[in-house]
């Protein structure tokens, strides 16, 4: 029975979601109880939540009830190997995500939008709206807001964000800050672009520490 489940685990690679394989690993190696602590709890919860690893699949429930007694503690060593592989997978996914964001930032369309926002001047929200509208302003703010959320949830590496986006973040926030603050007051929405502001703050803290 042990050998059968071991073969099944490795044969599922490429045919089921990685989340299913993770759950197999936890159960087969008798480590499911650690899923809420330290490394396992943090990585698995975050990655499943963001669908980077997908849902558990149709086997949810069945293998939890039946696999726990099928494997022994002799596989702890192999579990450590899978832990390393999972960590590398997380890093790869994070790098891929941030590079796709960087590719979007560098696209011709976004650069034109960003350039327009950086060049615009208006004495008030009303004048800004009448003269330019909000489409480009929202597009730029939303882009950096998204990065801020990913950083807050630790789904991207702050070092990569710093290397790729420090200057654009500072330039954009310095340009848009007054309008954002006025927009919050005018519309009674104090959370507008709060994660953009958080992102800028984190980059400042990192710069001060270096």
Closest to 147 measured CA to CA, from 137, 135, 157:
157
Residue 168 lies in a domain: yes
110 and 194 both lie in a single domain:
yes
196 and 110 both lie in a single domain:
yes
126 and 203 both lie in a single domain:
yes
With a cut of 50, say whether residue 52 has pLDDT above it. no
Closest to 65 measured CA to CA, from 12, 37, 23:
23
Q: Determine the structural domain holding residue 187 and report its residue range.
A: 106-209
With a cut of 60, say whether residue 77 has pLDDT above it. no
Name which residue leads in pLDDT, 186 or 9: 186
Can you tell me the distance from the alpha carbon of 102 to that of 161, in angstroms, rounded to the nearest whole number?
9
Q: Tell the residue number behind the tokens 């909000």, with chain if given.
A: 134
35 and 88 both lie in a single domain:
yes
Can you tell me the distance from the alpha carbon of 39 to that of 83, in angstroms, rounded to the nearest whole number?
9
Residue 45 lies in a domain: yes
112 and 69 both lie in a single domain:
no
pLDDT band at 94 (very low <50, low <70, confident <90, very high): confident
Q: Give residue 60's pLDDT.
A: 44
With a cut of 50, say whether residue 205 has pLDDT above it. yes
The mean pLDDT of 174-189, rounded to a whole number, is 93
Residue 50 lies in a domain: yes
Closest to 151 measured CA to CA, from 139, 138, 164, 140:
164
Residue 98 lies in a domain: no
The domain tally of the chain equals 2
Count Cβ atoms below 10 Å from residue 138 Cβ, excluding itself.
Answer: 15
73 and 142 both lie in a single domain:
no
Per-residue three-class SS string for 148-193? HHHHHCCCCCHHHHHHHHHHHHHHHHHHHHHHHHHHHHHHCCCCCC
197 and 127 both lie in a single domain:
yes
Can you tell me the distance from the alpha carbon of 118 to that of 5, in angstroms, rounded to the nearest whole number?
58
Residue 132 lies in a domain: yes
Residues 94 and 150: beta-carbon distance below 8 Å: no
Closest to 131 measured CA to CA, from 121, 140, 139, 141:
121
Name which residue leads in pLDDT, 28 or 155: 155
Residue 15 lies in a domain: yes
Greatest C-alpha distance within the chain: 74
The helix or strand, by DSSP H or E, that contains position 16, with its residue range, turns out to be: none
Residue 126 lies in a domain: yes
């Amino acid at each position: 029975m042990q050998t059968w489940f071991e073969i099944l685990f490795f044969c599922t690679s490429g045919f089921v979601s990685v989340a299913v394989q993770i759950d197999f690993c936890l159960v087969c190696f008798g480590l499911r109880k650690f899923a809420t602590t330290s490394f396992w709890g943090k990585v698995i919860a975050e990655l499943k939540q963001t669908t980077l690893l997908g849902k558990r699949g149709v086997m949810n429930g069945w293998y939890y009830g039946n696999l726990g007694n099928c494997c022994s503690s002799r596989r702890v060593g192999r579990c450590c190997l899978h832990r390393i592989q999972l960590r590398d997978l997380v890093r790869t996914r994070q790098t891929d995500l941030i590079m796709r964001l960087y590719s979007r930032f560098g696209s011709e369309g976004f650069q034109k939008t960003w350039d327009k926002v950086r060049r615009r001047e208006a004495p008030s929200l009303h004048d800004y709206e009448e003269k330019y509208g909000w489409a480009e302003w929202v597009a730029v703010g939303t882009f950096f807001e998204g990065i801020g959320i990913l950083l807050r949830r630790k789904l991207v590496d702050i070092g990569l964000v710093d290397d790729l986006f420090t200057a654009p973040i500072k330039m954009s926030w310095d340009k848009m800050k007054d309008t954002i603050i006025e927009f919050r007051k005018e519309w009674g929405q104090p959370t507008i672009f709060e994660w953009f502001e958080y992102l800028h703050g984190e980059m400042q803290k990192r710069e001060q520490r270096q």
